[in-house]
Amino acid sequence: MSALLGLAHLAALLLLPFPVVGLVNRTKARWAGRKGPRLLQSLSDLRRLLRKRPVYSRVTTVLFVAGPLVLLASTLVAGLVAPLLGAFAPLAFRYDFVVFAYLWGLGRLALMLAALDTGSSFEGMGASREATFSALVEPALFLALGTLAAATGQASFSSLLHVGFGSVAQAVVSAGVLVTLVILLQVEAARVPVDDPTTHLELTMIHEVMILDHAGPDLAAVQYAAAVKLTVCAALIAGMLNPLGPADGPGLVAAVNLALTLAVAVGVGLVESLVARLKLQVIPQYVLVGAASAFVALLTTAWWQGGGR
């Protein structure tokens, strides 16, 4: 059973990003009254990019080519730790969520270095913004996951997310962590209102401006990694919302989780249709909202466990 689930996890990790990105774009298109691209358009884009020959800047070193590969490798390995299918992950061990967060950190560092490698001031600007916002979102993520660890008494990512909404305290903890995870999704996967993956104005972008010089397979790796990150974040949110527990059988939990993940993708599309991008100066405050809500969840947990009950 667990081998089967492992295969399903791997398949979800590698293939789910395409329909998730497709759903986000389709939702935005429908909301704007357009028909929108095919659901698997991003798969065709990826194949087209893989066939192209890249052009490199004369100042770049081997790091420029290595950056996207390290980003993709670390994102994929981190994806094996994250519970994409509810309460299961192929690599589950104590404090695996720390490994997850730091693997993402490694990918980010590789991408930032590849951006700086070009010597372009635009890409330096993008790397600077990425570094700033990710440094701020990191403590929010750890507050959220640490709170979940304290609330559930578990130490592995795949068993952390089932806090549920049973009592008032549990509902507050879940809601606080959910807010953090939504903001995490928007920062890490570069979505509106933090960043806009479709804008092409260099001065306002974060993620896209770092990859101005990447082309062909390098760009494909970066875009695929971004889609995987979006999917993993959506699956984490789905795991928090999933009403089924381990008692209901892993197959059913996985199916519900997949459906919820797609629903979260639709939600991301709706947010992008309805909300404008934030000004760059207020993004740190927006990220702090994530840390603050996780802090509320932490205080609630402390009160709840410390005898407040």
Partner 1 sequence: MTLLWLAALALLVGAALSLGLKDNEHRGWAAIGSQAVATALVLIEVVPVLLGGGDLRSSVAWSFPIDRIAVHLDPLGAFFLAWSLPLTLVGTVYALGYLRPWFRTRNAGVQFALLNVTSLSFILIYTVESAFVFLLGWEIAAVAAWLLVVWDYRNQKIRFAGFNYLVSTHIGLFFLLAAFMVMYSQVGSMDFQAFGPFLRTPGPLRNVTFLLLVTSFGLKSAFFPFHTWLPRAHSAAPAHVSALMSGVIHKAGLFGLLRVTLLLGAPEAWMGWYVLGFSALSVLLGVLYTTAQRDLKRLLGYSSTENVGIAGMGFGVGYLGLAWHQPALVALGFTGGILHLLNHAFFKCLLFYAAGAVYRATHTVDLERLGGLARRMPWTATSFLVGGIAISALPPLNGFVSELLIYAGLLDQGAPAGIERGLLVLGAALLAFAGGVSALAMTRAFGVTFLGAPRDPAVHCDGEVPRSMRLPMALLALGVLALGLLPWLGLAVVEQPAALFLAGLEGARPATQLGAAALLGPVAGVGALLLLVLAALAAVRWWLQRGAAAPRRVTWGCGYTAPTPRMQYTGTAFSSQFTGIFPTVLRHLRRERLPEGPFPPPGDHINTHCVDAVEQRMFEVMGEGDGLVTRLARQIPVEPRFSLAAGLVVLLVVIGMVLTAAGGGR
List the interface residues with partner 1, window 201-240 (CB under 8 A): 202, 212-213, 216-217, 221
Does 136 participate in binding partner 1 (rule CB under 8 A)? yes
Under the binding rule (CB under 8 A), the answer on residue 81 touching partner 1 is yes
Select 102 or 245, whichever has its Cβ closest to partner 1.
102
Cβ density class 58-88: b for 16+ within 10 Å, e for less? eeeeeebbbbbbbbbbbbbebbbbbbbbbbb
Q: What is the dihedral sign for C-alpha 71, 74, 76, 82?
A: negative
Distance CA 207, CA 42 (A): 18
154 to 173: interface string for partner 1, x by CB under 8 A:
-x------------------
Which is closer to partner 1, CB of 139 or CB of 164?
A: 139
Q: Quote the longest CA-to-CA distance of the chain.
A: 64
To the nearest 10°, the Cα dihedral for 228, 250, 260, 302? -90
Smaller CB separation from partner 1, 144 or 271: 144
The window from 86-94, 163-171, 241-249, 262-270 that contacts partner 1 (CB under 8 A) reads: 86-94
Segment 96 to 135, residues that bind partner 1, using CB under 8 A: 96, 98-99, 101-103, 105-106, 108-109, 112-113, 116-125, 127-129, 131-132, 134-135
CB of 305 to partner 1, least distance (A): 4
The tokens for 144 are 């959220």
270 is an interface residue for partner 1 by CB under 8 A? no
Q: Which is nearer to partner 1, 42 or 156 (CB)?
A: 156
CB of 139: closest distance to partner 1 in angstroms? 4
Residues 58-77 that bind partner 1 (CB under 8 A): 58-61, 63, 65, 69-70, 72-74, 76-77
Encoded amino acid at 202, one letter: E
Size, binding site for partner 1 by CB under 8 A: 84
Q: Which two tokens mark 153?
A: 């008494």
Indicate the residue among 166 and 307 with the shorter CB distance to partner 1.
307
Q: Is 37 in the site for partner 1 (CB under 8 A)?
A: no
| Whole-Å CA distances, 46 to 49, 109, 268 | 5, 23, 22
Q: Which amino acid appears at position 63 of this protein?
A: L
CB-CB contact of 240 with 148 (8 Å): no
The answer, yes or no, to whether the previous bond of 197 is cis (omega within 30 of 0) is no
- In the complex, least distance from residue 72 CB atom to partner 1, rounded to whole angstroms: 6
